Every structure is written in C-alpha cells, then in structure tokens.
Structure 1
Amino acid sequence: MTEQPRTIPSALIRAAEEFGERAAIADGDTRLTFAQLHQRVRDFAGALINRGVKAGDRVVIWSPNTYHWVIALLGAQYAGAAIIPINTRYTGTEALDIIERVDAAALVVVGTFLKADRYQQLLDANPDLSIPTVIQVPIDGDDDRDGVIEFEDFLALATDAARTEADARAAKVQPDDVSDILFTSGTTGRSKGAITAHRQSIAVAKSWGECAEVTTDDNFLIISPFFHTFGYKAGILVCLLNGATIVPVSVFNIDDTLALVNSEKISILPGAPTIYQTILDHPRRSEYDLSSLRIAITGAAPVPVALVERMQAELFDAVLTAYGLTEAVVATMCRTDDDPVTVSTSSGRATADFEVKIGDQGEILLRGPNVMLGYLDDPESTAKAIDADGWLHTGDVGTLDERGYLDITDRLKDMYVSGGFNVYPAEIEGMLARLPGVHESAAIGIPDHRMGEVGRVYIAQLDGAGLTEESVIAFLKEKIAGFKVPREVRFVDHLPRNPSGKVLKTVLREEQS
C-alpha cells in the first residue's frame, strides 16, 4: 500500500492506481471501476474549469444518492473547489438561502424527482436567481430548460487541456484546504455551515473504515443521504479509501433494499434501528439471499439489546453503534468484538483521535484534530461551540464508563431526531412567528413508533385569529422541509414559563397523551 492520502483528490488517484479495475460504483445499469470513476471525475473537473470555476470556489449539490453525486463531489474537489451539499428534503426557500450565502459558482441539481422540480422551486423563491453554471441530474427523465446543462452534456465540455489543468489543481490541493461546508440547523433558527478540511474528512473516513474493518471485498449499500456526513464521509469516502463498492439508494424501499442485498451481495448496511427491525420482520425475508451481510452500523436512536442479539443471530456478523455530529462527523464508535449489551447501551469509544469528556450539566465535549474549522462567516457561533481550550460543546448529555464508552442520555438543547433527521424547534418557532395570529409557540419532539420522534407544537393565538391545526400545518409545509413539519398542533391559552420567563418545555414534554 502506498502512503495514506490526506486529501480527497489524492485518495481518488490512489484508488484508481491500487483498485483500478475493481468496482467503484454499482448504480443500476451504471457500473464504474475505480479507474473509470477517476476519468469521469477528470471530465467533470475539466468541464468546471472550462466554465470558469476557480480553485477555492464553491460547488453546491442538491440531488439524491446516485452515481452523478459521487462524480460531482469528487470532480469539484479535484478542480480545487469545496462542495456544499443540500438536504434533498429542503424547500426552495431553504436551499436558496444556502446557495446565496456560499456564493455558489456552480450548482448540481436534480431534475424532476419525486414529482418535485427542485430548480423550479429555486426560481419560485427568487425569479432573478443567477448561478454561473447549473448542471442537471436526470432522474425521472430530462427537463429541457434554458441555461441548464444536462449531466452527460456537461462532462462532454472537458478538453484535454482542461483535464491537464484539473490534474495540476488536484495535485495542488493541500490537507488544510477546505473540502466541504455542511450546513446544520442551529438553535438560533438559521442553518450554520460547518467548515471542514480535506485532512479531517479523510481522517474520520479512515478511522470509520478501520472500526468497521472495511476491505475491497465489501459492497456498501449507502441508504444514508449523501448530503449527510453519514452518507458522504462514512460512506463514499470510506469506500474510496478501502476499495469497497458504492451501491447508492436514492429512495428507500424495504423490498428494493432486500432485492439489492440479494443481487449486489451487500456486506455493509448502515441505517436506523427501524430498518433492521423491518428486515427481520419482513414476511418474505426467506425469499432473499442475505448471507452476504457482514456489518450493520446504526445510531441516532436507542437500539434494544434484543434487537442487537437478533441482528447478530440472524443477519450480521457484527453490529456497531456510533456517535457523531456535523461538526465532528464520527467521534465514537463500537468495535466488531463488542458484545450486544455494549452495542445497545453505548455509542462506542473514541475514534479518529478524538478526546471525549463530560462537562458541566453532563454535556459531552469533544476535542481533537478533526473538530470542524468553524462555522461559515459566523465567528460568534464558532466561539460558542468551540471553547478556548479547543473543546467542542455538543449540546448532548451523556456519561462515560470506566472503559471510555459513551452513553448518550439526553439532549442539552431542544433538538430531536425524526426519521434520522435532526429537527431544531427554534426553526419551527421562528417560522411560526411570521404567521399572522400566532402570539407565541413552542415545539417539542414526542415519541413515535416509526419515526423515533415527531413534532408537536403548542400555540397561543391572538383573540379572533381563527387558526386551526390544518391551517398551521399547511403554512409550515410551504416554508420548511417536510421532516420538520410537526405532526400535531395544540392550542393553549399560554405557554408554561419559569420566573425568568423561559418556556418550560419539560412541562410540555410531560404531556404525552
């Protein structure tokens, strides 16, 4: 093996050299070896260069999990740019906010997907939107529109001279250069862009791969969205570093998943606990050959010991849990020899050179070389998140046992997890403040068998406002992503508060009926 790469372009070049004819991507009828992936990436980078994209520019990707995403990711970084993924569930308004804040030099956007036209949503949010280069990923067919270049047509823009320039740029990318800016919602109500360097993205992916013992024999079914660190860094980059095959899933369906495990001989299957429970309980499970399954990686919700035991007995050689956040990616992780009780009751021990300690109020603190560089254009929030001694304040509450294994027991802040997505009540409450008739509101997460948690919002409305649950939900559906829209709306005369005026969400959470 050659020296471990410290940038994503160098990781791709190494993969093409060492794993050349092995399968890099298996996406339906599209099959690419690592050598072929490298050439496609050179094409994408060269086309960006011919369109005027410079080293240090920012390329936004708003598209679901397909091979196009992988090429765009690696191609932008090969040209020296940083990538900014956008949540595919975001509305046009939410996506536009990010695109404008990063001053995008190029946008890779899906065409019609799940009956929604993402680019049109952007134009609806801002008819005067102007992005120098817009590249369309065809999913449900081609959508012809002025000023938008189809993905394959875009690759054709590369010239030999531009590919040569791309190779030169790739060689110049430094470990401390910015690889990506991932936006994470904040308790202030506006998303914050966590900035990460190439060396950090590579280091966490390398550590994850070591914990999961990933090899060239693995076929990795990536259900986690590529716009999320779990799909991008603990997925795409892990495969790139270890020569495993990326098998992307753009829309999750349990029957399709079982069919893919069967046909693609999937060995690594990450996901929420509900996915595994659904597989175990599937009435036609025996019709599929699932013997290739080796490793399950889960998190974001508690995993019952009985489920871990069944998973290991009936599906997997090992089940791992992990803990991370956008600002640190993966900070703790179980190991393949951990027992079911450890896997169920902890999120593993430190990985990727992280230090973990418990601070005031039981808050989990992280420190190490792979903590984000900071938040984009937000030194105040950066200073609040990372203290003078370099400790990242996660906002999560937990305990460490004598072995250094972390157990997450609560959330210091109000964030809850719905279907694997973080939801921040401040965003919902901030949007409701714009709805005429709302005097005050408070959102909380409540247990849900399928989603883990869903939202419930309490609203005190002005006299005569005439708001209804239907009208509130309809308003929010137009303004925020679907996973953030509360399931329930309850109207109250006033919200419970402490003597200092702070809303007592603990009182609201006690009401679960």
Structure 2
Amino acid sequence: MASDHFWPVFAGHVQRQPRRVALVYDPGPGSGLVSLTWSELNHLTGRVAAWLDQNFGIASGQRIVHASTNSLSDLLIWLACLRTGRVDVPIDGRLSQSMAQDLIRRAAGHWVESSDVPIRDDGVDASPKSLAPPRPSSADDDAVVLWTSGTTSRPQGVRLSNRALLINAQDKLEAVPQHADDVRLTVLPICHAYARTCDIGTWLISGCTLAISRGGEGLQRVAAAVRPTHVNLVPVLAKHWLNQAPNADGQSCLRVLGCGGAGLDEATFDRWTERGVTVIHGYGLTETGPVIASATVSDARPGLVGPVTRHWQHRLIEGRLFVRGPAVMSGYIDDAPATALRIDPEGWLDTGDAVAVDPTSGQLRILGRCDDVIVLDCGHKVQPTEVERRLESIPPIRHAMVGQEDGGLVAWVVPHQPNDSLTLESLLEPLGDLPTHARPKQCFRVWPPPTQADGSLTMKGTIRRREFAHSLAWRTVTPIVG
C-alpha cells in the first residue's frame, strides 16, 4: 500500500473490489439509505473533480471551502480534492453565521455551495472521457485545513499534509484493526479531525463499508439498518445509546466503540464492556492529525487513553507532553507566528496537556490542560479535569466546571433538566477518595445550559471555561445543599 497519500489507496479499492459496497449515506429523515459501490463512488468523484476544474480552473493547491454537514457532497469534495491536488477546507455547518463568515474569510479559498455539487446527472456530462483525470499532489502538500474547536482561544485552521493524514490513520488502524467485511458508522462531524482520521481515514485504508449520518438522530436512524461493527461517539451519545436494549437499534453486531472529545466515566465504560463491546479511548489534537495515543482491543481500560502510537516521539517536561513525528501539522493557516509558538525549531509540538504515565500498563492518563491548573491559597494544586469528570459521571449532571472562590474550590454543575434533584452529598460521594483540598467546598446549580450559540460550549460539546465563567453573571446560579 502507498505510504504517503490516500488517493492511491482509494484507487486500489476501485480496482480490486469495484462492485463491493463502499458507502451507505443518509439523505435525511423521510428518505431511504442509499448505497454506492467503490466503482460508483469513483465515478462520482471524477465528475465532481471535473466540475471543480470547470469552475475554478486546473491548479494544484486550491483551497475548496464549504459548509460541512456529513452529506454525500462533503465526502465527494474531499475525494475530488485528493484526486486533483486541491485542499479541502470544511467548515462546520452548525457554526453561527458570524463565526462561519470569519472562517471563510480566513480560509482564502474558493467557496462551494454543497447544493451545487453534481451528485446527480442533472445535465452534467457523465461519460468516462468527461471525468477529471487523477493528478494528486505530493505527499507533503496540504490535504486539508481543519479547524480547532476553540476550547481556549479563537479557532485556528490547521494545515495537515497528505502524508500526515495517512500515517495517522495507519497508526489508528494498527491499534484498532478493521477489515473489508466490517461496517463503520460515522455520525460525528467529518469536518473535525477525530472523524476525519478515525472514521474516514480508517475506512479508506481498510476498504470496509462506511455508513455516514449526523448526530444522535442519525445514529438511531441508520444503526438499525446497517448494524455497524465499529462506531466512534462522544460521551453524551455513548451514554444515550447505552440506554437502548442491547440487541436493538443496531447494536447486535457492534464490537468496538471509540469515544472521543472526552473519556467515558468508569460506570458507562463497564456497562458497555458487559455488553461485549470494547471501548476504545484515545488522545490527540487537531494539530496532530489527531491521534497521539490509542488504546487497543486487548488493553482498553477506563481512565487511560492507551500508549503513544508508533510514529510519535514523545517526552514529558514537568508533566507537560511534547510530541514530534510525521503526522504533526504543517502549521496554522497563514499564521507563522502562532505556528512558531506551538512547534519549536527541532519539530517538537507543545500539546499544552498535563499527562501521567500509568506505571503498570505504560498507557497515558490525561490530567487536563496545563493552563487550567488551579493553585489554591493553601498552596495545593488541583487539576480540574479529574474532578469535573467525576462530577459528570453522576446521572443528572450534564456539565461541570470547578474553579476557585475565596481561596477554596467551588463547583458549578449543569443538570440535564432544570428540576433534576441534586444534593451536596450526591455530588461529593464520587469525590470521596480525592484529597480534601480537591473536593469542592461549595457547589452551585447553573441554568440554562451552555450552548455553542452563546459561545460557552465548543463544537465538540465541552465547556469553554472563560466564556462559561463570564456567563454565570446572567445565568441562574443557586447553591446546592443537603
């Protein structure tokens, strides 16, 4: 297999298994699922590539910018970019208009309306001679620009090369194998690095069948029809799906459940394991393609994210993780100063994360962002991520954030429903084995929940600390007692 570019990998499947189903896509509620073979997918890709040539000219390195909603056109644009040496720049279709316009401006590329992409005949010449011939770019040229979630700052456009993407997906597939007879369902946004590599990338390498939809509704609608063997989810979807009957809603063939964005709490992890499903935690950043570490099917453990994958070098400096390897980003889009702050002259990327190595397994344990460490007046340091993770394992809790007030630790929790019952005792129970200074002295209920629209929630569903803290001034905040 080619070791530096996805296009020869895709073309290999077209040649070896042209009639095998490559893709099952979901046009949306009220429509049936549609299947495409590798040959049909290749034909559509060639047509879209020719359409791009007709509209924007034949030039390698063009940035193709579009709103991404996990549609067939999103996938065809990506494959057409691979085919013709262009750069795919997807922008999450859920973003506010103002934020989307900012990213479009910064992308400085050619805007494409998804509805204009020729996925049907509609008068477009579909003869073989009309298809754009393959002319993939080089291994070190940009393949995509993916945007960070903006957890701690303004979203940055991350340039990832063809080589970086392929190597990162190969490493993930080495940790969690899948085969041509597997079915992978993706409902996470493919405009983000996690789904782009761990769903789309591993599909292209393995030659399995990919089913694509979006969100919890798409999961319920599509899983029962395709019965996936592999699914990647975020914790909130993994918990929701777990509440369905074990053999209903498409879980009967499920073997591997990947969880990204944050780790599953131990109770949820164990319940999935009891169903015979291996839960895979991993760790990474958009800037690293994203996978830095991944559990394997033989060593998956709650609270750990697996060992560093094969192509990374890593080192810990006072508990802060630095990595170097061929999957590191080429840089931030048109922002050399920001790139230089993140990657030193020797190629080491500062993850900004506090990490510990589990002494018995060698796996990584992610403690949280180094910049988030709370230094209490008593001199003790608290990494808030572990406290928040435990609070969010309590069934009524949707989000949790801890901080410092009057020298002590305080927790703000957001329930799933405004009338959910919460007591101080129930919140402190899962924190009982933590040091006294790491247990909040006060806890507050917060309503309404943070949202992406008000800027206090990232696109991956995690709290943006600074923005959420500022928003407490207008949200309803009440002490929790009892």
TM-score by length of 2: 0.74
Q: Is the 8 A contact 1:46 1:159 kept in 2?
A: no
Q: Quote the Cα distance in structure 2 between the aligned partners of 1:209 and 1:277.
A: 25
Residue in structure 2 matched with residue 279 of structure 1 by the alignment: 241
Structure 1's 289 and 231: CA in aligned 2 closer, same or farther, altered over 3 A? closer
Deviation at 1:155, TM superposition (A): 8.8
Partner SS, residue 202 of structure 2: helix
* Root mean square deviation, CA, Å: 3.6
1:38 aligns with one of 39, 42, 46 = 42
Deviation at 1:192, TM superposition (A): 1.5
Whether 1:15 aligns to 2:13 is: yes
Q: Deviations over 1:218-258 (max 9, x none)?
A: 111102111111111211121111011111122422xx635
Q: Quote the Cα distance in structure 2 between the aligned partners of 1:215 and 1:91.
A: 38
Deviation at 1:91, TM superposition (A): 1.3
2:97 aligns with one of 70, 92, 95 = 92
- Unaligned stretches of 5+ in structure 1? 110-135, 137-147, 426-443, 452-468, 493-510
Q: Is the 8 A contact 2:92 2:191 kept in 1?
A: yes
Deviation at 1:330, TM superposition (A): 0.4
Deviation at 1:445, TM superposition (A): 9.6
Q: Is the 8 A contact 1:332 1:347 kept in 2?
A: yes
Q: Equivalences for 1:128-139 in 2 at 5 Å?
A: 136=115
Partner SS, residue 308 of structure 1: helix
Q: Deviations over 1:427-477 (max 9, x none)?
A: xxxxxxxxxxxxxxxxx99554669xxxxxxxxxxxxxxxxx99xx99964
Partner SS, residue 152 of structure 1: coil
Whether 1:292 aligns to 2:296 is: no
Partner SS, residue 350 of structure 1: coil
Whether 1:396 aligns to 2:353 is: yes
Residue in structure 2 matched with residue 434 of structure 1 by the alignment: none
Amino acid at match of 2:236: T
2:192 aligns with one of 224, 228, 236 = 228
2:324 aligns with one of 367, 376, 379 = 367
Structure 1's 480 and 312: CA in aligned 2 closer, same or farther, altered over 3 A? closer
Residue in structure 2 matched with residue 207 of structure 1 by the alignment: 171
Residue in structure 1 matched with residue 369 of structure 2 by the alignment: 411
Amino acid at match of 1:228: H
Q: Quote the Cα distance in structure 2 between the aligned partners of 1:475 and 1:108.
A: 23
Structure 1's 450 and 52: CA in aligned 2 closer, same or farther, altered over 3 A? same
Structure 1's 358 and 413: CA in aligned 2 closer, same or farther, altered over 3 A? same
Residue in structure 2 matched with residue 345 of structure 1 by the alignment: 303
Q: Deviations over 1:374-415 (max 9, x none)?
A: 111211111111123321111111111344311001212359
Q: Quote the Cα distance in structure 2 between the aligned partners of 1:157 and 1:39.
A: 12
Amino acid at match of 1:152: R
Partner SS, residue 286 of structure 2: coil
Deviation at 1:288, TM superposition (A): 4.6
Q: Comparing 94-103 with 305-314, which one deviates more in the overlay?
A: 305-314
Residue in structure 1 matched with residue 120 of structure 2 by the alignment: 152
1:322 aligns with one of 277, 282, 291 = 282
Structure 1's 215 and 190: CA in aligned 2 closer, same or farther, altered over 3 A? same
Amino acid at match of 1:490: L
Deviation at 1:160, TM superposition (A): 5.3
Q: Is the 8 A contact 1:330 1:352 kept in 2?
A: no
Q: Quote the Cα distance in structure 2 between the aligned partners of 1:157 and 1:512.
A: 66
Q: Deviations over 1:56-114 (max 9, x none)?
A: 100013121122211111112212110111122211221112222222223244xxxxx
Q: Quote the Cα distance in structure 2 between the aligned partners of 1:60 and 1:391.
A: 30
Residue in structure 1 matched with residue 375 of structure 2 by the alignment: none
Partner SS, residue 169 of structure 1: coil
Deviation at 1:479, TM superposition (A): 11
Q: Quote the Cα distance in structure 2 between the aligned partners of 1:338 and 1:481.
A: 30
Whether 1:248 aligns to 2:212 is: yes
TM-score by length of 1: 0.70
Q: Quote the Cα distance in structure 1 between the aligned partners of 2:305 and 2:190.
A: 22
Q: Quote the Cα distance in structure 1 between the aligned partners of 2:123 and 2:284.
A: 35
Q: Is the 8 A contact 2:187 2:213 kept in 1?
A: yes
Q: Is the 8 A contact 1:23 1:31 kept in 2?
A: yes
Whether 1:387 aligns to 2:344 is: yes
1:51 aligns with one of 42, 52, 55 = 55
Partner SS, residue 371 of structure 1: coil
- State the percentage of identical aligned residues: 23
Residue in structure 2 matched with residue 490 of structure 1 by the alignment: 472
Deviation at 1:206, TM superposition (A): 1.4
Q: Is the 8 A contact 1:203 1:370 kept in 2?
A: yes
Whether 1:167 aligns to 2:129 is: no
Amino acid at match of 2:170: K
Structure 1's 275 and 150: CA in aligned 2 closer, same or farther, altered over 3 A? same
Residue in structure 2 matched with residue 27 of structure 1 by the alignment: 25
Q: Is the 8 A contact 2:188 2:215 kept in 1?
A: no
Partner SS, residue 390 of structure 1: coil
Q: Comparing 86-95 with 183-192, which one deviates more in the overlay?
A: 183-192
Count of aligned pairs between the two proteins: 405
Structure 1's 475 and 20: CA in aligned 2 closer, same or farther, altered over 3 A? closer
Q: Is the 8 A contact 2:281 2:295 kept in 1?
A: yes
Q: Deviations over 1:325-377 (max 9, x none)?
A: 100110100011115xxx212111111411222223x2121111111111112
Partner SS, residue 261 of structure 1: helix
- Unaligned stretches of 5+ in structure 2? 27-32, 373-383, 393-398, 402-409, 418-445
Q: Quote the Cα distance in structure 2 between the aligned partners of 1:247 and 1:231.
A: 12
